[in-house]
Structure 1
Amino acid sequence: MSEGNGGLRSGRLADAAGVNPQTLRYYERRGLLAEPGRTLGGHRLYPAEALTVLRVIKAAQRLGFTLEEIADLLPTAAHRHGRSDAPLVERARLKLTEVEERLADLTVIRKALQQTIDAGCSDLIACAEAPDCPLPFAEPARPSPKSAP
């Protein structure tokens, strides 16, 4: 897969990783991907390890990690030999908690939407004014009691 002994050009690396070349440059700017060497003609040449890094980034994104979180994980992943998995495991636990919270929120939204469909609500304003409206509108703000001087 390499372009001679120097590495992979942007297009080949991007194709192999399933991203576009602009993504490679974006990841470089974000510090997720090391800046590659250059050919005499100025073409980027990435080391073979860059493909692994890109696969790790894409896998972490599919698991819901943000690029900022991935940037924190990559140094750990790159130097894992002989190290504990505790940083990754802890991050995975935190991400799982976030996912579970989002699932709970989505379950509430799903229920409200299904109730809206079942109630035949076709007008948002009319629904908001109906006492049995299933949509989760916020309660009106109540004035706070003023403290006595």
Structure 2
Amino acid sequence: MTDDLRNYTIGTLARTAGVNIETIRFYQRKKLMRIPERPHGGIRHYGQQDLKRLKFVKSAQRLGFNLEEVAQLLHLDDGAHCKQAAAVAESHLSDVRKRLEQLKAMEAALAELLEECQKHSGEVACPLISALQS
């Protein structure tokens, strides 16, 4: 199978990549994926490169990259822009670490409130609800 073979319809491409057809169309509107030409009276076909690109987008999203960052990475995918791609990833990693700090603070606050709830069982005022109301 070569990259020139256009052996996937949009439905087959979606099933193979584990996404919905509308996901592919959305990525096309966002210019993350190409829209293949439609032969006169025919069906558009996609190839291995399209599948590879679709899997790349989904993998990047699983790592938390937003679509703008994914577009940047796709633009840099020519083998000559590794430093720029690393800069995008470093910025994203910084954001992830900030979110982790926020999540740890949330976890500590919730754990403390739950501990207070357990100490005050049977009382009218629930410490958790009181804290959220103030």
Same fold (TM over 0.5): yes
Distance 1:6 1:92, change over 3 A: closer
Number of positions where the alignment pairs a residue of Structure 1 with one of Structure 2: 126
| Corresponding position of 1:126 | 130
Aligned to 2:24: 24
Partner residue in 2 for 1:115: 112
Q: Indicate whether 1:60 and 2:60 are aligned.
A: yes
Higher relative contact order (CA closer than 8 Å, sequence separation 6+): 2
Alpha-carbon distance in 1 for matches of 2:26, 2:16? 17
- SS of 1:112 mapped into structure 2: helix
- Mapped to 1, the partners of 2:131 and 2:30 lie a distance apart of 46
Determine which structure has the larger helix proportion and give its number. Answer: 2
Q: Which aligned runs of 4 or more in structure 1 are off by greater than 4 angstroms?
A: none
More strand by share: 1
Contact 1:39 1:45 in 2 (8 A): no
Q: What SS class does the counterpart of residue 7 from structure 1 fall into?
A: coil
TM-score between both structures, scaled by the size of structure 1: 0.74
Aligned-pair RMSD on alpha carbons?
2.4
Question: What displacement does 1:76 show?
Answer: 1.0
Deviation at 1:44, TM superposition (A): 1.9
- TM-score, normalisation: structure 2: 0.82
Aligned to 1:51: 51
Superposed counterparts of 1:1-149, under 5 Å: 5-77=5-77, 79-80=78-79, 83-120=80-117, 122=126, 126-127=130-131
Structure 2 distance, partners of 1:126, 1:48, is 57
Report how far residue 84 of structure 1 moved.
Answer: 3.8
For the pair shown, the structure with the greater C-alpha radius of gyration is: 1
| Distance (whole Å) between structure 1 residues aligned to residue 57 and residue 33 of structure 2 | 9
Could you give the per-residue CA deviations for residues 37-62 of structure 1, whole angstroms, max 9, x where no partner exists?
A: 22443422123200110111011101
Distance 2:42 2:18 in 1: 23
